[in-house]
C-alpha cells in the first residue's frame, strides 16, 4: 500500500475512535483487479465508439437510398427513412400495399403462376432489408449500452482495488 493511502486510512481511523487500530494493509496485492478495471474501461470506451460508428453507418446507408415513408403510413409519413423507427414504419406500409395487391394472400399462399407472386417476393425482400437495418440499429445501441456498463464496472473495480484501507474485523469490538 502506498504511504499516502496508509496515511489516509490512519486519518480515517483517528477520526473514528471505534476503528482505532483496525487499519491494515490489504492481505494481498490487488494489481490484477486494477488491471481488469482499466481493461474494462478501455473495452467500454471502444464499445461506445464502435457502436456509435455502426449506428451512424447504418443511418447513412439508409439515407443514401433516399427512401421516404409513404403518406399512408401509421407514423412518420413523408419523412426520410434514416433510423429504426422510420425503417419499421416503411416496412409495415410495404406489407400493407403488397397484401392489397395480392388480395390479402402472402407469398406462400399464392400459386406459382399468380402474377402477384413477383410483387409479394419483392415486397418480402424489401421488408427483410428494412428489418435488417432495424436489427442493426438495435445491436449498435446495445453495444453502446454495454460499453457504458463496462466503463462503470471497470471504474468500480479500479476504485475498489484502490481503496486505501482494509478494516480488520478482529480489531473492532462488538
Domain span holding position 112: 31-162
User: Does residue 137 fall inside a structural domain?
Assistant: yes
User: Does residue 77 fall inside a structural domain?
Assistant: yes
125, three cell numbers: 425482400
Consecutive 10-residue runs of the chain (174 residues): their mean pLDDT?
A: 48 55 63 91 98 98 96 94 97 95 91 91 95 98 98 93 64 55
Closest by CA to 132, choosing from 93, 71, 88, 162, is: 88
Helix (H, G, I), strand (E, B) or coil at 166: strand
User: Does residue 2 fall inside a structural domain?
Assistant: no
Q: Would you state the pLDDT for residue 173?
A: 55
Cβ distance 62 to 79 under 8 Å? Answer: no
Closest by CA to 102, choosing from 124, 81, 84, 82, is: 124
User: Does residue 86 fall inside a structural domain?
Assistant: yes
User: Does residue 3 fall inside a structural domain?
Assistant: no
pTM: 0.75
Q: Would you state the pLDDT for residue 23?
A: 59
User: Does residue 21 fall inside a structural domain?
Assistant: no
User: Does residue 58 fall inside a structural domain?
Assistant: yes
Q: Residue holding cell 415513408?
A: 69
153, three cell numbers: 464496472
Q: Would you state the pLDDT for residue 1?
A: 44
- Pairwise CA distance, residues 7 & 19, whole Å: 14
User: Does residue 145 fall inside a structural domain?
Assistant: yes
Q: Would you state the pLDDT for residue 14?
A: 52
Number of domains in the chain: 1
Amino acid at each position: 500500500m502506498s504511504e499516502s493511502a496508509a496515511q489516509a486510512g490512519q486519518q480515517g481511523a483517528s477520526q473514528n475512535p471505534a476503528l482505532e487500530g483496525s487499519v491494515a494493509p490489504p492481505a494481498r496485492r490487488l494489481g490484477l483487479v486494477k488491471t481488469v478495471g482499466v481493461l474494462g474501461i478501455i473495452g467500454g470506451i471502444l464499445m461506445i465508439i464502435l457502436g456509435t460508428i455502426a449506428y451512424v453507418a447504418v443511418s447513412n446507408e439508409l439515407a443514401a437510398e433516399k427512401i421516404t415513408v409513404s403518406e399512408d403510413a401509421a407514423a412518420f409519413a413523408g419523412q426520410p427513412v434514416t433510423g429504426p423507427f422510420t425503417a419499421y414504419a416503411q416496412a409495415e406500409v410495404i406489407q400493407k400495399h403488397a397484401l392489397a395487391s395480392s388480395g390479402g394472400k402472402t407469398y406462400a399462399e399464392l400459386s406459382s403462376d399468380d402474377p402477384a407472386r413477383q410483387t409479394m417476393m419483392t415486397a418480402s425482400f424489401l421488408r427483410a432489408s428494412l428489418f435488417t437495418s432495424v436489427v442493426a440499429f438495435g445491436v449498435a445501441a446495445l453495444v453502446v449500452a454495454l460499453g457504458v456498463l463496462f466503463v462503470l464496472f471497470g471504474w468500480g473495480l479500479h476504485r475498489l482495488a484502490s481503496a486505501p484501507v482494509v478494516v480488520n474485523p478482529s480489531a473492532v469490538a462488538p
